[in-house]
A and B are shown apart, each in its own frame.
Chain A
């Protein structure tokens, strides 16, 4: 794979699930195509149930596409599952910390699974906890940490293995606005610093525009309804235009019901 090749490529990818009641299939992703370049942060917006998380799980190799071609670093993430050891990091909507592990041990988890030298794994975990402002909380169990602190631990866990690709599924949605804003800023700084490729799923237009180099809006079943490239040089007016476009595209799918 050369440097100009996309790190993530979806070509006509579809995913169908069997309905739980057994009555036919449910299409979650419908002929979805996109490419993401190295070092790019792509924010994905869409309403609940539009298939964002399904796309996310396909990229992570946790589920297999029903049809189409998925390539991540030039490989199929589902069929070549083991190739991606340490190459993908995920920050989930809920922190998904192991309750029986301390903050330190949770951050160390990925490194232990990757058979990293224990001393190095310990140093890396401590360094990440410190970087995310959690020094002094190494030995705390998750139940003793606040929501923001737990999410910081899960970010540290994802970054600690130094993955090439970061997948984030609404990681700050359950936090208060101030904590979310702080973590968002820290997150973007970390991703840019390490030149990682990232997909960031969110419900919030402002968050998507603040984080992404590009914003993709999904309609249900997952397919791109709108796409816009963003850059720091864009004027206030241009950004407002993108924001309005996104709102319009989101509204088209589910027009507001008239009252009365």
Chain B
């Protein structure tokens, strides 16, 4: 098992090293303002991470991503529970969410700029509206996959609604919630940059806009890497939580 894990890590590292090597070769062929060398990108990345005034922009974006995702998660969870218990509610809410799903993120950005003044509220609104349908449908799917057998078994003990929620519904939907967070995290990271690019005065998106105006490719890459690193760290954290929360699952000794 350790060998296969090491092999997977080596393969993943090899892919990234190949990508970096390709970029480095391009930097030797083309001017540096188009393809800056890897060491320069690396030093700019470290500079952002170690300079308080720059790091604050990364944290601002991270806060916006978490705020938006958390808002959509809470709202989506409530909507999923309502839909899950009432066919009428589903008939009413589901088409609206499907309609929202069809609206591009950029349209929400435009709507937010026209409707609201506060920058933070604009970003929060955009984040919530773009991730709400996915959260709702994913939690709803998890809720509906609840075992009828386990439900009946639990009902024999006559639990209160709260007890049923705590002992059966929450553990049932946890895998779905974790998957929803993983999927929506990537979407949120992309959307937040667009939102900040157009309507914010701080954050990674705003800094990217500045790098574009300065025609600073190394800076653009360094700021992009901040977001990539952030997503990677959060994904790894969610995976660790997932491994802990779903530790009860049987694992086949034969690797897939």
In the complex, are the beta carbons of A98 and B156 less than 8 A apart?
Answer: no
A143 to B167, CA, bound (A): 19
Query: What residues of B have a CB within 8 angstroms of the CB of A57 in the complex?
Result: 152
Known: A96-B149, A113-B163. A82 touches B156 (CB 8 A): no
Known: A100-B248, A143-B250. A110 touches B150 (CB 8 A): no
Known: A99-B249, A113-B167. A85 touches B158 (CB 8 A): yes
- Answer yes or no: B153 CB below 8 A from chain A CBs: yes
CB distance from A206 to the nearest CB of B (A): 27
A236 to B240, CA, bound (A): 63
A144 to B249, CA, bound (A): 10
Known: A112-B167, A113-B167. A89 touches B156 (CB 8 A): yes
A143 to B156, CA, bound (A): 23
In the complex, are the beta carbons of A84 and B158 less than 8 A apart?
Answer: yes
**Per-position 1/0 for A106-135, Cβ under 8 A of B:** 000110111000000000000000000000
B139-190 contacts to A, CB under 8 A, are 149-150, 152-159, 163, 167-168, 171
Query: What residues of A have a CB within 8 angstroms of the CB of B159 in the complex?
Result: 113
A142 to B149, CA, bound (A): 15
- Answer yes or no: A148 CB below 8 A from chain B CBs: no
In the complex, are the beta carbons of A98 and B171 less than 8 A apart?
Answer: yes
CB distance from B243 to the nearest CB of A (A): 14
In the complex, are the beta carbons of B156 and A114 less than 8 A apart?
Answer: no
In the complex, are the beta carbons of A96 and B158 less than 8 A apart?
Answer: no
Who on chain B is nearest to A82 by CB?
Answer: B158
In the complex, are the beta carbons of B149 and A92 less than 8 A apart?
Answer: yes
In the complex, are the beta carbons of A90 and B158 less than 8 A apart?
Answer: no
Who on chain A is nearest to B171 by CB?
Answer: A100
A62 to B149, CA, bound (A): 12
- Answer yes or no: A43 CB below 8 A from chain B CBs: no
**Per-position 1/0 for A48-71, Cβ under 8 A of B:** 000000000100101000000000
Known: A84-B158, A100-B248, A143-B248. A90 touches B153 (CB 8 A): yes
Query: What residues of B have a CB within 8 angstroms of the CB of A81 in the complex?
Result: 158
CB distance from A60 to the nearest CB of B (A): 6
In the complex, are the beta carbons of B249 and A113 less than 8 A apart?
Answer: no
Interface of chain B, helix or strand or loop or mixed?
A: helix
CB distance from A17 to the nearest CB of B (A): 15
- Answer yes or no: A156 CB below 8 A from chain B CBs: no
In the complex, are the beta carbons of A92 and B153 less than 8 A apart?
Answer: yes
CB distance from B248 to the nearest CB of A (A): 4
In the complex, are the beta carbons of B171 and A62 less than 8 A apart?
Answer: no
- Answer yes or no: A39 CB below 8 A from chain B CBs: no
In the complex, are the beta carbons of A109 and B156 less than 8 A apart?
Answer: no
A98 to B152, CA, bound (A): 12
In the complex, are the beta carbons of A96 and B153 less than 8 A apart?
Answer: yes
In the complex, are the beta carbons of A99 and B248 less than 8 A apart?
Answer: yes
In the complex, are the beta carbons of A114 and B157 less than 8 A apart?
Answer: yes
CB distance from B7 to the nearest CB of A (A): 27
Who on chain A is nearest to B245 by CB?
Answer: A100
Query: What residues of B have a CB within 8 angstroms of the CB of A98 in the complex?
Result: 150, 167-168, 171
A161 to B154, CA, bound (A): 13
A86 to B159, CA, bound (A): 10
- Answer yes or no: A88 CB below 8 A from chain B CBs: yes
A113 to B153, CA, bound (A): 12
Query: What residues of A have a CB within 8 angstroms of the CB of B250 in the complex?
Result: 141, 143-144
In the complex, are the beta carbons of B154 and A143 less than 8 A apart?
Answer: no
In the complex, are the beta carbons of A96 and B249 less than 8 A apart?
Answer: no
Who on chain A is nearest to B168 by CB?
Answer: A98
A88 to B171, CA, bound (A): 24
Q: List 29 contacting pairs A-B, 8 Å CB cutoff, sorted by A.
A: A57-B152, A62-B155, A62-B156, A82-B158, A84-B158, A89-B156, A90-B156, A92-B149, A92-B153, A94-B149, A96-B150, A96-B152, A96-B153, A98-B167, A98-B171, A99-B249, A101-B248, A109-B157, A109-B167, A110-B157, A113-B157, A113-B158, A113-B159, A114-B157, A141-B248, A141-B250, A142-B248, A143-B249, A161-B157
Beyond contacts A114-B157, A143-B249, A143-B250: 8 other A-B pairs, Cβ-Cβ < 8 A, are A57-B152, A81-B158, A85-B157, A89-B156, A92-B149, A94-B149, A98-B168, A112-B167
Interface residues of B (CB under 8 A from A): 149-150, 152-159, 163, 167-168, 171, 246, 248-250
The 6 lowest CB-CB distance pairs between A and B, nearest first, are: A143-B250, A85-B158, A96-B153, A113-B157, A141-B248, A113-B159
